[in-house]
Chain A
């Protein structure tokens, strides 16, 4: 009983960590520019696929990983400069459609370049399972959790203890006021999109040894990351992390105890229920609209 429960919990927390990283990416971009970036999932896919590609072309692991994080970060910046910035005054629907277009372009390019095959990465430190109260914990799961925790901790430090981080927060509250006190808001956009790309890629690299990757792997994880961000209340960093873990755990439990065929539907049922009863997410504030 306990062993089974723990097993589901471990796998839930592991995928949940990836959702949390994706949700943080959504949150960063949303705070900086009030855009929901539907291409966030493609950063996750890029992280995994690029690492596979660079390893296969003979680069050492650390270099392959570094490139697979830097390139999606650069893609994020390009997306902001050439697609979001020119349409700054467009409405929500238009911005959503632009990012959906971007995700199709990224996915299509990877499909043409690297093919439709499914790939995997070797686990970072062997695959000897660790036994814990009868449940098995794979070393890669510890990597996912450890790196995610480290990333979340450094983001927390960045946003609450450094001037640069605080200027990003200030911009998300009020861009005009931020500009008036001398904050370079276009730098803020640059950093936010780059970070969103990097966070997605890190998640993608970490999870690939467990879940495999392919050119279309980003769609589902990305959408679930969006669910996680909404569960936590769009725009809240803490909410994104908690939302990610929550969605991951509920999904794993439902898959284990109810039906594995509908595993992928779980986050969406969850989000519909939450939105119907708490339209601003679990951690979202009250809605006030200014006319």
Chain B
């Protein structure tokens, strides 16, 4: 881990530690929790999109699997929540493993199409299997019990999720600097060249896809328990797009960019909530403008400018 990354991580920890004491009320704490949840998802998605250069337009499907596992298994079959979370992650991981090989034989537009199709099919299953999922109306999720404790207050949730975020950042920073991370960047640069120097590109593409699916699934479960309710919207195409937006606006292949992207784009709809409809327009405009003027995303572009000193 480089010095600047270590300083960055310390700043994040400091901000997270102070936040609950300066936020004026529960509403802001709630927004902060959602920002942290999205940041964790975006970190894992950025491994796939930013570092490995593989697009996924269906990632919300994996969030959906996790969320519905945590809703359906405890409600209908009496599973303990933590087992349901594990089962959801196992299903997501297996599904990712199963489709990864055929999917990554595809590139560019075909890959976009395949991941998009996968996400849409999952969302439709959640919407249509009303007997289990409650259909479009959604389903209530029991509260999360951890080792005999029940998470009830907003503050408890905040500390749990803040800790998860710090752990994810730390893990990602280490992963990026490991041989695994270097292999991912190599195959982003050129698949043929990385094969020539002995990188098994299949192995890495599958591994990073499964990893990001696991991350998404676990956070889907966590979101479900935190909100206490799941609707099929968690898995739909628009949510997948939102996640991709957070990755690209913050900065592809940038760990701290993922944080910035998640914070900005989770906060924005809250700020725009009073202007019904404009939310979509602003979202779209931000996507376009970032890609046109800062194709590398906010954080990498701005740090490059700082380094050059202008």
A275–B241 Cα distance when bound, in Å, is 22
Q: Which segment, of B27-35, B114-122, B170-178, B219-227, faces chain A?
A: B114-122
Knowing A93-B55, A97-B248, A234-B109 are in contact, say whether A107-B114 is a contact too (CB < 8 A).
no
Contacts of B278 in A (CB 8 A): 108, 112
A88-143 CB contacts (< 8 Å) to partner B? 90, 92-98, 100-109, 111-112
Looking at the assembled complex, report how far the CB atom of A166 sits from the nearest CB atom of chain B, in whole angstroms. Answer: 25
A130–B121 Cα distance when bound, in Å, is 36
Choose among A36, A87, A94, A108 the residue that contacts B112 (Cβ–Cβ < 8 A). A36
Q: Is B91 an interface residue (CB 8 A)?
A: no
Q: Which segment, of A175-183, A186-194, A263-271, faces chain B?
A: A263-271
A104–B241 Cα distance when bound, in Å, is 10
Q: Is A291 an interface residue (CB 8 A)?
A: yes
A265–B108 Cα distance when bound, in Å, is 22
Q: Taking CB as reference atom, which chain B residue is nearest A291? A: B192
Q: Is A3 an interface residue (CB 8 A)?
A: no
Looking at the assembled complex, report how far the CB atom of A99 sits from the nearest CB atom of chain B, in whole angstroms. Answer: 9
Q: Is A279 an interface residue (CB 8 A)?
A: yes
A223–B112 Cα distance when bound, in Å, is 11
Contacts of B252 in A (CB 8 A): 93
Q: Is B159 an interface residue (CB 8 A)?
A: no
Q: Is B206 an interface residue (CB 8 A)?
A: no
Q: Is A219 an interface residue (CB 8 A)?
A: yes
Q: Is A257 an interface residue (CB 8 A)?
A: no
Sort chain B's interface into a size bin.
Answer: 35 or more
- Cβ A98 vs Cβ B288 within 8 A: yes
B100-139 CB contacts (< 8 Å) to partner A? 102-103, 105-106, 108-110, 112-114, 116-118, 120-121, 124-125, 128
- Cβ B237 vs Cβ A275 within 8 A: no
Contacts of B283 in A (CB 8 A): 101, 104, 108
Mask, B6-50, CB within 8 Å of A = 1, is: 000000000000000000000000000000000000000000010
Looking at the assembled complex, report how far the CB atom of A41 sits from the nearest CB atom of chain B, in whole angstroms. Answer: 11
A94–B247 Cα distance when bound, in Å, is 11
A108–B248 Cα distance when bound, in Å, is 21
Contacts of A92 in B (CB 8 A): 55, 108-109, 112
Q: Is the interface of B mostly helix, strand, loop or mixed?
A: helix
A92–B109 Cα distance when bound, in Å, is 7
Knowing A36-B112, A98-B287, A279-B106 are in contact, say whether A268-B295 is a contact too (CB < 8 A).
no
Looking at the assembled complex, report how far the CB atom of A250 sits from the nearest CB atom of chain B, in whole angstroms. Answer: 14
Knowing A105-B284, A275-B106 are in contact, say whether A98-B114 is a contact too (CB < 8 A).
no
Q: Is B244 an interface residue (CB 8 A)?
A: yes
Knowing A262-B124, A265-B121, A269-B121 are in contact, say whether A90-B295 is a contact too (CB < 8 A).
yes
Q: Taking CB as reference atom, which chain A residue is nearest B284? A: A104
Q: Is B93 an interface residue (CB 8 A)?
A: no
Q: Taking CB as reference atom, which chain B residue is nearest A87? A: B292
A103–B287 Cα distance when bound, in Å, is 11
Q: Is the interface of A mostly helix, strand, loop or mixed?
A: helix
Knowing A223-B120, A264-B124, A268-B120 are in contact, say whether A289-B192 is a contact too (CB < 8 A).
yes
Q: Is B166 an interface residue (CB 8 A)?
A: no
- Cβ B113 vs Cβ A227 within 8 A: yes
Knowing A90-B295, A275-B113 are in contact, say whether A101-B285 is a contact too (CB < 8 A).
yes
Mask, B247-288, CB within 8 Å of A = 1, is: 010001000000000000000000000001111111111111
Most A CB atoms within 10 A — which of B116, B245, B252, B279? Answer: B116
A261–B116 Cα distance when bound, in Å, is 19
Contacts of B276 in A (CB 8 A): 112
Looking at the assembled complex, report how far the CB atom of A280 sits from the nearest CB atom of chain B, in whole angstroms. Answer: 8
Choose among B99, B108, B237, B277 the residue that contacts A108 (Cβ–Cβ < 8 A). B277
Mask, A210-235, CB within 8 Å of B = 1, is: 00000000010001001100100010
- Cβ A96 vs Cβ B109 within 8 A: yes
Choose among A97, A98, A112, A271 the residue that contacts B117 (Cβ–Cβ < 8 A). A271
A109–B108 Cα distance when bound, in Å, is 29
Knowing A100-B287, A101-B288, A265-B121 are in contact, say whether A94-B113 is a contact too (CB < 8 A).
no
Q: Taking CB as reference atom, which chain A residue is nearest B190? A: A291
A46–B130 Cα distance when bound, in Å, is 33
A52–B257 Cα distance when bound, in Å, is 44
Q: Is A272 an interface residue (CB 8 A)?
A: yes
- Cβ A219 vs Cβ B284 within 8 A: no
Choose among A112, A226, A234 the residue that contacts B277 (Cβ–Cβ < 8 A). A112
Contacts of B118 in A (CB 8 A): 268, 272
Contacts of B244 in A (CB 8 A): 97, 100
Apart from A100-B241, A103-B284, A279-B105, list 9 A-B contacts with CB within 8 A: A36-B109, A94-B295, A105-B281, A105-B288, A106-B284, A112-B278, A268-B116, A268-B121, A275-B110
Q: List 19 A-B contacts (CB under 8 A).
A: A86-B292, A94-B295, A96-B57, A97-B248, A100-B284, A101-B284, A101-B285, A104-B241, A108-B281, A111-B280, A112-B281, A223-B116, A223-B120, A234-B110, A264-B120, A264-B124, A268-B117, A271-B117, A272-B121
A-B pairs with the 7 shortest C-beta distances?
A104-B284, A101-B287, A108-B280, A108-B281, A101-B288, A268-B117, A105-B284
